[in-house]
Amino acid sequence: MTAGQGLNGQVYRLQVPPEQRGQRLDVFLKATLGPDISRSRLQHLIEAGRVEVKGKTAKAALKLTGNEEIIVQVPPPEPLEVIAENWPLSVVYEDDYLLVIDKPAGVVVHPAPGHRQGTLVNALLAHCDGQLPGIGGMLRPGIVHRLDKDTSGLLVVAKNEAAHHGLTAALKARTVRRRYLCLVHDRIKPDQGTIDAPIGRHPKLRFKMAVVPDGRPARTHFTVLERLESYTYLKVTLETGRTHQIRVHLAFIGHPVVGDPLYGRRQGNLGLKRQFLHAAELGFVHPITGEKLEFASPLPEELSRALGVLKRNHQ
């Protein structure tokens, strides 16, 4: 699959594998494009004539023969109004240019079609009186980096374009320090290590990420803080910031994050209703003032409680 920007937005070019012969077009597209495009969105694109098979517009029920090329043209998204919602934020730091938030688990960072309310961005808009860069239609105003819904901890938000540009450049240059605390299954033998493995979409399960040969470079560093009976408590540092990077990398080496519903195990999750992953430390140079900023967030109560039980049982 290749993808690029066209005059009408995103353009996907897909080559149908021979083994997919006889499969319906809409089923193949859903399995291939996964979360990039929703099922309803794909259906709309097909009905609008934006999906071509062998150079001709096609219907959803078309049976594929194998080896043909499919072109999917996705127009730019329509501006989505983001509604400000006034609910409490845990603000660790704030000035005229940026703020640092301690996000609780269970909160989605930014809106998406079908999920327009209850996100961190909704609350940020109320907190900043609607003044965040990119608010004129973007779904991620002010967001520089993100945390998964069920990952808690620190993230920085830009309040103007200059700060957003500076923070984005710092992330790209890998000068932003992001450290996490996590609990993984089984005992890791080395005291520290680096996982250097490219990450991309899972070749079959498009809603997941995976270590794949043609993925984007990804490096994760870990240090063992404590070994327990059948678990290891780690401090993890991100060098890159791929989607689900820590979760994918730790599962890749055979030590998935405890409580991870996507990459983890069904057994031994200590009764947790979320993954044991917390963004505990964040450090960067202020993009406007040049001041070096360092922040820390304590382990949330439910994670601290689970860890405490393990430690007592290990004694």
Beta carbons of 43 and 60 less than 8 angstroms apart: yes
Beta carbons of 198 and 218 less than 8 angstroms apart: yes
* Residues classed as catalytic: 148
CA–CA separation, 291 and 169 (whole Å): 16
CA–CA separation, 244 and 251 (whole Å): 11
CA–CA separation, 234 and 119 (whole Å): 29
Beta carbons of 180 and 279 less than 8 angstroms apart: yes
* DSSP-H helix ranges across the chain: 25-33, 39-47, 120-127, 161-172, 245-252, 301-314
CA–CA separation, 200 and 142 (whole Å): 25
303, with CB counted inside 10 A (0-12, 13-18, 19+), is buried
7, with CB counted inside 10 A (0-12, 13-18, 19+), is exposed
List the one residue out of 167, 157, 185 whose CA is nearest residue 256: 185
CA–CA separation, 19 and 204 (whole Å): 13
Say if strands 2-6 and 9-15 run parallel, antiparallel, or are unpaired. Answer: antiparallel
